[in-house]
Amino acid sequence: MNVLFLGLPGSGKGTQAQSIAGRLGLAHLSTGQVFRDSVVEKTPLGKIVEARMNAGILIDDELTNKIAESFLEKNGSAKGFVFDGYPRNVAQASFLEKLLEKKKQKLDFVVLIDVDEQVVFERLVSRAKKDGRTDDSEEKIRFRLATQNPKELVDYYLEKKMLSTIDGSGTVDEITRRILAVLG
């Protein structure tokens, strides 16, 4: 089973992706986490992506697609994947489709976690203070919310009749239950 989570930054998709991957035994790809780790570990990838990440700007598709491709290769025996923050646009979505096709697989579920933009703004500001996330300051958060809205992919998967929208308000457990109901 392959599941993609869509949502604004701060919608809780990372938390839910991790929880669902753990419960269902799926491999969890968070490209944002891969990039953040690479910056902390000062790897060659980290040096390439650090400035863009700190500015809250997307990393280019070619590099991001390579990260996804090598993650799928490394986890070749996984019984499925949870995609979180990847794909981020239609170009990446098409690339992922081809990657999965090669494995005779497809995305089985695309779940949009629907949240109010003001609610996530407040959530991101308090998370940034707590975690000291270097890519989060109030101005950058506004910028990320404006530029990283999943609308392009929402329209793309709506058109393909693949999108399930769930209410992203309430407790973490309530949201998890809604997602599990969608996944059957």
Tell me which of 53, 93, 107, 120 binds ligand AMP, using CB under 6 A.
53
Q: Is 85 in the site for ligand AMP (CB under 6 A)?
A: yes
By C-beta, is 52 or 123 nearer to ligand AMP?
Answer: 52
Q: Are 93 and 156 in contact (CB under 8 A)?
A: yes
Q: Is 156 in the site for ligand AMP (CB under 6 A)?
A: no
Q: Token match 């890519």: residue?
A: 135
By C-beta, is 65 or 179 nearer to ligand AMP?
Answer: 65
Q: Is 48 in the site for ligand AMP (CB under 6 A)?
A: no
Q: Is 86 in the site for ligand AMP (CB under 6 A)?
A: yes
CB of 67 to ligand AMP, least distance (A): 8
How many CB atoms lie under 10 A from the CB of residue 69?
15
Which residues are tagged catalytic?
Answer: 13, 88, 127, 133, 144
Tell me which of 24, 32, 46, 99 binds ligand AMP, using CB under 6 A.
32
Q: Which of 25, 26, 40 is nearest to 81 (CA)?
A: 26
Q: Are 49 and 63 in contact (CB under 8 A)?
A: yes
Cα–Cα distances in angstroms (integers) from residue 168 to residues 7, 9, 70, 118, 125, in the given order: 9, 12, 31, 13, 18
